A and B are shown apart, each in its own frame.
Chain A
Amino acid sequence: MFPIPRSDSSALEALVLGLTTGPVCLASCGPVVVPWLLVQPQGMRVHGRQLLLFLGARLAGYLVFGAAAWLVGSSIPREWTSRSWIFGGVQVLLAAALAVYAAGWPRRRCTHHEPGRLVQIGERPAPRIGGALALGFLTGINLCPPFLIAGVRAAQLATLFASLQFFLLFFAGTAAWFIPFVSLGFVRRTPALVTVARMAAVLLACWYGFSGITNLMGKAFYG
């Protein structure tokens, strides 16, 4: 059984856990962040803003999970990991969000003066807030190994505040690894690049969707 962390040591532990497991978080969130940022307009400011929105929403997801972890307590590993339908559902939602936002929907209503976005796939798109928030939140509550470790530790803390603080610092540690993504703002936006990013987002949506559905229907598939 894990030793119960003391609140004064848990802050440092959360930060170190976040920093050390950051590459895994990076790999886990990279498939969502990279296509999303590549369909945004060129520029460091735009990318910085989009990444902040994404990370903010991801933090919200972390805190929701942290609160839930504390409420459920130490039964997380047994209870939550067996309920693959929760994470299957998150993956399906993530797939839908990727398809909806990164692939170009919702398109603006076509008018005679302004054609729909979908038919102008190569044009300079306007930065959108909703996509970053939705994708950030869904990746925030998506299960990955470091996240599960953090959940177990947070669940063992004495108070809800301590649990949330643990997740906040864990988030800060992992978020440091995301800073290099801002450099995607330097990449010159061409119609071809935007199309490639959208195609990749659709492929990733298919992958998350398949993974989510097999998780959701795991018992039916594997008996």
Chain B
Amino acid sequence: MASQSSARGAPRVFRGAGRSALLTLPMALWSLLMFTPAFRQPGRNLHTGAAAVILFMTGLFYLMMRTGETYRWRRIFFVALGFLFPVGFIASLVAERGSMSISISRMVSGDTPFCFMVTPSIILPAAFAHTIIFPGSILPTASNPHSIAMMIGLWLAFTLVLGKAWCSYACFFGGIEEGFAGFAKRRRLHRFVTRWGSRLRLIPWAILLFVVLGSAVLLEPVYCMWLCPFKTVTEFPAVRNVETAVQFGVFIALFAGLVVALPLLTKKRTQCGFFCPFGAFQSLFNKINLFEIRFDRNKCVDCSLCQTTCPTVALSAESIREGKTLLNCMKCGACVDACKKGAAVWHVKGTPVAAKPERARLLFLYGTWALATMFGGSILANSVAAMMGFLPWK
């Protein structure tokens, strides 16, 4: 069994094919369990989508086992999730409502699908004003299956177990910018990121404070109204006055700048690392879950390769010296895969660092991939089915 894996070039064999297949078996069974109900429903497109996702998720997990690499294969899933999510989501809106637009009457009747990004904004109004400041329904309805309770429950289950890994394995918004970051051939603005990274990574916390306090004052989700670069569940406002013009400009600038341009230039997830208040909120949960990435100081040669590779600037020279990541680590595994000395390792809290890193990785991946298959996999299956519906030979 090789102890190292390469971050670039051809994947190295980490363990044998039979052993990898054996380790993949539970995940294959889980995928079948998740998507078997789809085969009971009518519709060839849905069957195709479910079958494709079973193969896709199981195949990627097998490659993780075989090569010992996490980041490379996770990224394929994650970028697919990011770019296919809008396809399935818009198709489902059109199927349910006849249009992708969400009218005011729909909002008033609580038919807006709940977006998990709103979660921090609803806490203070719920506590003080006993109201949930989102035009969705608490429980699922026929016209709105994406209810508040369901989305928060899913997110909470994922987050309590895996911490901020949600941002690397489930958040479809992050997949879009990771895709753009992947298009870049080389890193530009590296010096800027290195120099200002320590300040830039604090901005999401400031935006979180702003959004939480602002939502309590206005009793509306400030992030959705003013700052969301994606505008998935609410619409771009029609420009009728200065206020809506500013809103429109902010949305466009944030998407173009943080989701497209800066990831292309820096090869970093700039929206996630330097802006997303939900990501900052998620970071708090890194304190209370078992899995983390640590650095074996006996092996580390302070080459800073991990720091350069980290897509969200979650490492600093000081943190590496202390053998830890920063609080905003998304557990994507980029640093572990990049480290040529094997100093960056997966770790379960309460156990000695680097004692059994592969076991820690396996424990983490089983939980994460299972949840990713359940949440992201169903999104992918729906999206594939929606795309099949547009094909001429459907």
- In angstroms, Cα B206 to Cα A214, docked, is 24
Query: Interface of chain A, helix or strand or loop or mixed?
Result: helix
Contact between A35 and B209, CB atoms less than 8 A apart: yes
Contact between A203 and B128, CB atoms less than 8 A apart: no
**Which residues of chain A have C-beta atoms less than 8 A from B202's C-beta?**
192, 195-196, 199
- In angstroms, Cα B243 to Cα A210, docked, is 9
Answer whether A34 and B213 are a contact pair too, CB < 8 Å, given A26-B128, A199-B206, A200-B206.
yes
Contact between B128 and A27, CB atoms less than 8 A apart: yes
Answer whether A27 and B216 are a contact pair too, CB < 8 Å, given A200-B206, A207-B210, A221-B241.
yes
A2 lies within 8 A of chain B by Cβ: no
Contact between B207 and A203, CB atoms less than 8 A apart: yes
A76 lies within 8 A of chain B by Cβ: no
Q: Which of B217, B242, B246 contacts A27 (CB 8 A)?
A: B217
Answer whether A221 and B242 are a contact pair too, CB < 8 Å, given A27-B216, A30-B213.
yes
Interface size class of B (residues with CB under 8 A): 20 to 34
**Which residues of chain B have C-beta atoms less than 8 A from A197's C-beta?**
206, 209
Contact between B217 and A31, CB atoms less than 8 A apart: yes
Answer whether A199 and B203 are a contact pair too, CB < 8 Å, given A27-B124, A30-B217, A221-B242.
yes
Q: Mark A181-216, 1 if CB is under 8 A from B, else 0.
A: 000000000001001111110111001001000100
Answer whether A34 and B241 are a contact pair too, CB < 8 Å, given A195-B199, A195-B202.
no
Contact between A28 and B209, CB atoms less than 8 A apart: no
**Which residues of chain B have C-beta atoms less than 8 A from A214's C-beta?**
242-243
B205 lies within 8 A of chain A by Cβ: yes
A23 lies within 8 A of chain B by Cβ: yes
**Which residues of chain B have C-beta atoms less than 8 A from A28's C-beta?**
217
Listed residue (B209, B243, B246) with the most chain A CB atoms within 10 angstroms of its CB: B209
- In angstroms, Cα B242 to Cα A27, docked, is 26
Contact between A222 and B128, CB atoms less than 8 A apart: no
Residues of A that sit less than 8 Å from B by CB: 23-24, 26-28, 30-31, 34-35, 192, 195-200, 202-204, 207, 210, 214, 221-222
Residues of B that sit less than 8 Å from A by CB: 124-125, 128-129, 199, 202-203, 205-207, 209-210, 213-214, 216-217, 241-243, 246
